[in-house]
């Protein structure tokens, strides 16, 4: 029973940290709704076993099923936006910002930054070029110039019939 209590406390701490980052970004609704699926039994039980269980539970507690459920229920995970054939679909801007708030919230717990997390894991992330461009722009890796091209972020928006102010207004 202790593993479930410890995991419950961990989830609450994570939600609090992401709440703080979402409020800073003006994502007020997401501040409250972030990762609610972690309370679903498929996720909650398997995560508790993986992170707080004995060695047997850590190895055979069904974590993969819980993780798959989490990815498929939460649009702020880049994995959600990968098709069955492995093709990355462009993430809408509001989910990119939610993902960054998630990374920043995790960073509060583990003492690093969202930039550090991205640098360590970018090679594992299957992101479309526009999504990667936006992530790297938001994290300060690029200065308005899309990754791997000579197209600025503003040009990318214009080419795709998007309006930055309107898109940001929808996100908040």
Q: Residue 164 above 60 pLDDT? A: no
Domain end position, chosen among 51, 78, 105? 78
Q: What percent of the chain has pLDDT over 90?
A: 69
Domain end position, chosen among 36, 51, 78? 78
Q: Residue 172 above 70 pLDDT? A: no
Distance CA(134)–CA(144), nearest Å, equals 9
Tens-digit pLDDT profile for residues 63-84: 999 999 999 999 999 999 999 9
Which domain covers residue 108, as residue numbers?
A: 93-171
Distance CA(141)–CA(54), nearest Å, equals 40
Domain membership of residue 32 (yes or no) is yes
Same domain, yes or no: 97 and 167: yes
Q: Which residues contact 171 (CB under 8 A, 6 or more apart)?
A: 26, 27, 93, 94, 97
Tens-digit pLDDT profile for residues 54-64: 888 888 878 99
Distance CA(146)–CA(112), nearest Å, equals 25
Same domain, yes or no: 106 and 73: no
Q: How confident is the model at residue 140 (pLDDT cuts 50, 70, 90)?
A: confident
How does the average pLDDT of the chain come out, rounded?
87
Domain membership of residue 167 (yes or no) is yes
Q: Domain count for the chain, please give it.
A: 2
Cβ(43)–Cβ(77) below 8 Å: no
Distance CA(66)–CA(64), nearest Å, equals 5
Q: How confident is the model at residue 148 (pLDDT cuts 50, 70, 90)?
A: low
Q: Residue 153 above 60 pLDDT? A: no
Helix residue ranges per DSSP H, the chain: 2-25, 28-33, 41-52, 55-60, 63-73, 93-110, 114-121, 129-138, 153-159, 164-171
* pTM, full prediction: 0.81
Domain end position, chosen among 16, 51, 78? 78
Q: Residue 150 above 60 pLDDT? A: no
Domain membership of residue 16 (yes or no) is yes
Distance CA(77)–CA(67), nearest Å, equals 11
Domain membership of residue 88 (yes or no) is no
Distance CA(18)–CA(99), nearest Å, equals 10
Domain membership of residue 83 (yes or no) is no
Distance CA(85)–CA(27), nearest Å, equals 32
Distance CA(139)–CA(153), nearest Å, equals 14
**What integer pLDDT is reported at residue 137 of this predicted model?**
87
Beta bridge partners of 145: 152
Q: CB-side exposure of 4: number of CA atoms within 13 Å?
A: 8
């Amino acid at each position: 029973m202790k593993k479930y209590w410890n995991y419950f406390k961990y989830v609450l701490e994570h939600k609090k940290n992401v709440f703080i980052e979402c409020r800073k970004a003006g994502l007020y609704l997401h501040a409250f709704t972030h990762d609610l699926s972690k309370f679903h039994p498929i996720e909650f039980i398997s995560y508790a076993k993986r992170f707080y269980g004995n060695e047997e539970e850590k190895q055979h507690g069904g974590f993969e099923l819980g993780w798959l459920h989490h990815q498929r229920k939460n649009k702020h995970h880049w994995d959600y936006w990968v098709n069955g054939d492995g093709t990355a679909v462009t993430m809408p801007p509001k989910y990119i910002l939610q993902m960054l708030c998630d990374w920043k919230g995790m960073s509060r717990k583990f003492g690093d930054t969202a930039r550090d997390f991205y640098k360590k894991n970018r090679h594992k992330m299957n992101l479309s070029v526009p999504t990667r461009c936006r992530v790297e722009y938001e994290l300060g890796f690029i200065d308005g110039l899309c990754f791997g091209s000579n197209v600025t972020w503003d040009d990318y928006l214009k080419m795709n019939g998007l309006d930055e102010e309107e898109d940001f207004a929808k996100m908040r």
